[in-house]
Structure 1
């Protein structure tokens, strides 16, 4: 009888200890930038699920700001690219604009998914119009681009998009220097590489050395 009671008591204590350890681990994972869902038993990162479904990866404020600012920045680039569909006269401009839209639309969705997974709003507290960000076009510049057609549109589009891309490169460089989320840094690296190449292409189209 004593033996059975001792065994039962021992099992209960073991279960209680295990539950306490699990609670401690769970509590530690609740802070910003420290989730263990993306690492395996060895600590190596596992294959991340889709951005809209994955749990929050290790992230910090720079990652959040990168997504919150790059989303409206990309949206304006897509808006500019859509104008080129009916206004550009140079087929190279139309082709470039189509490529920009095809690349940046999915990136907007990806970054929106990250903010949802991180439990962060799409815009910073207080919001921002976006036009104060590096490379963003003013409302006046966008209105002029919308009214332009043919060769005038082509030149204006290329000049404005070069400035726009340079702003995105700056934002990507900041993320690479200060961010923590591996997927966000990977996207920043891709944005920097692609947009530097497109800047050079647009400079050549404008006849710039």
Structure 2
């Protein structure tokens, strides 16, 4: 019969076994790269590029942005003239509204072109927009110069008449974008232009006594 080991000799052996078991468990839990807390494989973190929307665009979107930038710039120039030359408070208020709406849109359109690696139309010196005179509603340099020489009620009427035609051109360009464009945000902007500028055309015609 084998002698029984004293208890004092068995305690260190049990303690060592427990330490090894804890170490093995710790090693298993540290492998968080491949398993989640419930034992299932952990999902890898999404990369920044995976969270960026694609937002494809086409040639019509580019043409819309390149055309609407100089178109808006001319409207802002006309609105700037109204600040010192218009006599009607309604015309001055209307011109200020146009400037506040279209100046931010110019920045938005320019940002899209830069993101698409397309050139942003250069600003023309003075009121010379001859390079874009073929666009719907754009006014020639002579018309702009003549408007700049007017004041009072004469300016008010000329400004409203010119801006009505200018707005109609913008609505036409926006309609083309809605029909042929692919970039969602550009099509949304086009819809906004059609809605707001159509309402402004009606208001300007009222001021002209044509409503």
Answer whether TM exceeds 0.5 for this pair: yes
CA deviation after TM superposition for structure 1 residue 36, in Å = 8.6
CA deviation after TM superposition for structure 1 residue 150, in Å = 0.1
Residue 109 of structure 1: which of 104, 107, 115 is its match? 107
8 Å CA contact 2:178–2:191 kept in 1: the answer is: yes
- 2:176 pairs with 1:146: no
After TM superposition, the score normalised by the length of structure 2 is 0.71
Residue 129 of structure 1: which of 128, 131, 135 is its match? 131
Question: Over the residues paired in the alignment, what is the CA RMSD in angstroms?
Answer: 1.9
Aligned 1:53-202 pairs, distance under 5 A: 57-123=55-121, 129-202=131-204
Decide which structure has the larger Cα Rg and report it.
Answer: 2
Aligned 1:35-50 pairs, distance under 5 A: 37-38=52-53
CA distance in 1, matches of 2:154, 2:112: 39
CA deviation after TM superposition for structure 1 residue 80, in Å = 0.1
CA distance in 2, matches of 1:36, 1:171: 32
After TM superposition, the score normalised by the length of structure 1 is 0.72
CA distance in 1, matches of 2:61, 2:205: 30
- Figure out how many residues of one structure are paired with residues of the other and give that number: 156
Gaps of at least 5 residues in structure 2 are 1-49, 123-129
CA deviation after TM superposition for structure 1 residue 139, in Å = 0.4
CA distance in 1, matches of 2:195, 2:144: 26
Following TM superposition, where does structure 1 have runs of at least 4 consecutive aligned residues deviating by more than 2 angstroms? none
The C-alpha deviation readout for 1:143-176, integer Å capped at 9, x for no partner, is: 1100000000000000000000000000000000
